[in-house]
């Protein structure tokens, strides 16, 4: 491979997975993260069968599973608890490993960051790229601490508001508010929540995700016309208002949403870069090029797959530009479909459509993402 020294901008899930995959390929890696100290918010994330498979390929599966809650199936219920469907997961990493996991974002960050450092990635926090120039053979950067560097490749893994994307595309791609928000709240795990449980009807969507022996979280999606600002002192009450006040498990948990500090609210935004994800020696991965809603639980999965495919292609070819082209061609359609289907599910919540078959979309997505990357 012609590329020997890589700068990764952004230490989120995509950036850290890239650092791991590239170090395993023997490539020198510097990673800069703009936050002075890591601020990973304390809720969890669903990772499905394709992610478990990719964690194995990244060589972190055992320590990742040690930090996660394993489960196989996903069940769908009415808001008052009647089970409508149960989808078995596929154990893509092998029979002795689970199909899916729930994991706290903090625990996931710790596993990825520790592994990247152990493999020799040079990680600096409180630092970013303030300017860059590039040609067909290298990229020169000036960092926010005044130092300069020259790299064979720069990977922009700096999220939906990516500055690296701006270096390539200016303001051409901007995040769009989808009309919905997500509310999350941690609870002690209940024994029956040993797998992902979704509770849906025409006007309501929530889920319970097990994260650890003593931890699970509840998420609720809601339509938020006009993207209102929710004052901190109203968070718990507002989250409760987004949920039906009914008998049963969801109603019981609703009553326990009382601490404003524990509510994590996020307006949902999306973006897809429908143009090459690279220019000369700068390439973009993860939410920087394909940010979608969490309805299918695949955003981080796509960033992780990007990291692996990019490292693979950089190892195969001598020419970096050809490797970046192959990376883009392998990723573009797969990410587009996931991005689009996730948006469709969100749209069906904003504008309920009796013809829309949500269960079929979930079933198809499980089968689709199980296909090799
Ligand atoms: C509410 C919600 C729930 C979700 N749930 C799931 C789920 O269950 N399963 C799933 O797979 N996905 C989920 N996702 C999606 C997932 O969180 C994202 O797709 C994933 O985090 C993208 O990773 P990334 O590394 O590309 O970007 P990010 O996670 O955004 O990381 C970007 C990093 O770059 C840093 N950075 C930003 N700008 C700069 C800069 N200029 N210089 C240096 N560093 C910079 C940031 O501080 C950050 O550390 C969810 C998303 C949301 C909003």
Q: For the chain, which residues make up each domain, given as ranges? A: 5-69+103-175+269-370, 177-268
Q: Which atom of ligand 1 approaches the CA of 38 most closely?
A: 49
Fold of the domain built from segment(s) 177-268: D-Amino Acid Oxidase; Chain A, domain 2 (3.30.9)
Tokens of 281: 């020696």
Q: What is the pLDDT of residue 125?
A: 97
In the predicted model, is pLDDT for residue 372 greater than 80?
yes
Q: Cβ distance 260 to 235 under 8 Å?
A: yes
Distance, in Å, from the CA atom of 250 to the CA atom of 238, rounded to the nearest integer, reads: 16
Residue 46 in this model has a pLDDT that exceeds 70: yes
Instruction: State in Å: Cα 84 to ligand 1 middle.
Output: 32
What pLDDT was estimated at residue 317? 66
Between the CA of 81 and the centroid of ligand 1 the distance, in Å, is 32
Radius of gyration over alpha carbons of the chain, in Å? 21
Alpha helices in the chain (DSSP H): 13-24, 49-58, 61-66, 105-118, 163-169, 235-241, 249-255, 299-316, 320-350, 358-370
Nearest CA, atom 2, ligand 1: 294
Q: What is the pLDDT of residues 149-158, one digit of tens each?
A: 999 999 999 9
What per-residue string of b and e applies to 194-220 under the rule 16 or more CB within 10 Å gives b? Answer: ebbbbbbeeebbbbbbbbbeebbbbbb
Average pLDDT over residues 278-302: 97
Packed helices 299-316 and 320-350: angle between N→C axes, nearest 10 degrees: 170
DSSP state of 36: S
How far apart are the CA of 118 and the centre of ligand 1, in A? 22
- 267: which 2 tokens? 């307006």
Q: Is the pLDDT of residue 247 over 90?
A: no
Q: What pLDDT, in 10s, does the model give residues 352-371? A: 888 999 889 999 999 999 99
Q: Tell me the fold of 5-69+103-175+269-370.
A: FAD/NAD(P)-binding domain (3.50.50)
Which atom in ligand 1 lies closest to the alpha carbon of residue 266? Answer: 1
Q: How far apart are CA 65 and CA 101, in angstroms?
A: 8
How far does residue 291's CA lie from ligand 1's centre (Å)? 9
* Beta strand spans in 78-214 (E): 83-87, 100-104, 122-125, 129-134, 139-143, 148-151, 153-156, 176-187, 196-201, 204-212
Q: Summarize pLDDT for 188-245 with one digit per residue, the tens.
A: 999 999 999 999 988 899 999 999 999 999 999 999 999 999 999 999 999 999 998 8
Residue 326 in tokens: 């192959």
Nearest residue (CA) to ligand 1, atom 17: 300
- Answer for the pair 243, 220: CB distance below 8 angstroms, yes or no: yes
What lines the ligand 1 site, CB under 6 Å?
A: 9-15, 32-35, 45-47, 128, 157-159, 163, 182, 266, 286-287, 294, 297-301, 303
Tokens of 127: 């630092």
Residue 118 has pLDDT above 80, yes or no: yes
Per-residue pLDDT at 318: 72
pLDDT at 211: 96
pLDDT of 42 above 90: no
Predicted local distance difference test score (pLDDT) of residue 20? 98
> Could you tell which of 7, 8, 10 is best to mutate to test the pocket of ligand 1, judged by most ligand atoms within 8 Å of the CB?
10
Ligand 1 centroid to Cα of residue 323, in Å, is 24
Helix (H, G, I), strand (E, B) or coil at 108: helix
**pLDDT at residue number 92:** 96
The secondary structure of residue 104, as a DSSP letter, is E
Statement: residue 76 has pLDDT above 70:
yes
Question: How does pLDDT run across 316-357, given as a tens digit for each residue?
Answer: 867 899 999 999 999 999 999 999 999 999 999 999 888 999
Q: How far is the CA of 27 from the centre of ligand 1 (A)?
A: 24
Please tell me the distance between residue 82's alpha carbon and the centre of ligand 1 in angstroms. Answer: 34
Question: Could you give phi then psi for residue 137, rounded to 5 degrees?
Answer: -115, -20
Residue 41, pLDDT score: 76
Asked whether residue 292 carries a pLDDT value surpassing 60, the answer given is yes
């Amino acid at each position: 491979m012609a590329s020997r020294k890589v700068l990764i901008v952004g230490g989120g899930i995509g950036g850290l997975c890239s650092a791991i995959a590239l170090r395993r390929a023997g490539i020198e890696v510097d990673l800069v993260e703009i936050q002075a100290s890591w601020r990973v918010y304390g809720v969890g994330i669903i990772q499905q069968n394709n992610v478990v498979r990719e964690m194995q390929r990244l060589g972190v599966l055992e320590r990742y599973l040690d930090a996660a809650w394993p489960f196989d199936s996903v069940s769908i219920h009415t808001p008052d608890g009647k089970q409508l469907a149960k989808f078995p997961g596929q154990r893509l990493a092998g029979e002795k490993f689970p199909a899916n996991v729930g994991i706290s974002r903090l625990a996931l960050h710790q596993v990825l960051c520790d592994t990247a450092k152990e493999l020799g990635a040079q990680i600096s926090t409180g630092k970013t790229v303030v300017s860059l120039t590039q040609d067909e053979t290298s990229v020169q950067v000036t960092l926010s601490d005044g130092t300069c560097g020259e790299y064979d490749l720069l990977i922009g893994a700096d999220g939906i508001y990516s500055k690296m994307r701006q270096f390539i595309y200016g303001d051409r791609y901007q995040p769009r508010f989808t009309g919905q928000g997500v509310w999350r709240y941690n609870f002690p795990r209940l024994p029956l929540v040993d797998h992902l449980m979704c509770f849906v009807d025409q006007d309501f969507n929530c889920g319970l995700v097990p994260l650890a022996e003593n931890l699970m979280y509840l998420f609720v999606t809601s339509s938020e016309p006009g993207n209102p600002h929710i004052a901190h002192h109203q968070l718990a009450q507002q989250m409760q208002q987004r949920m039906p006040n009914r008998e049963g498990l969801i109603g019981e948990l609703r009553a326990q949403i009382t601490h404003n500090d524990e509510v994590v609210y996020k307006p949902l935004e999306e973006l897809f870069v429908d143009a090459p994800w690279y220019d000369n020696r700068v390439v973009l991965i993860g939410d920087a090029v394909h940010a979608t809603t969490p309805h299918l639980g695949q955003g981080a999965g796509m960033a992780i797959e990007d990291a692996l495919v990019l490292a693979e292609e950089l190892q195969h070819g001598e020419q970096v530009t050809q490797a970046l082209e192959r990376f883009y061609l392998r990723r573009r359609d797969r990410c587009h479909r996931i991005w689009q289907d996730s948006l469709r599910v969100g749209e069906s919540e904003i504008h309920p459509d009796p013809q829309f078959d949500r269960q079929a979309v979930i079933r198809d997505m499980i089968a689709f993402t199980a296909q090799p990357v």
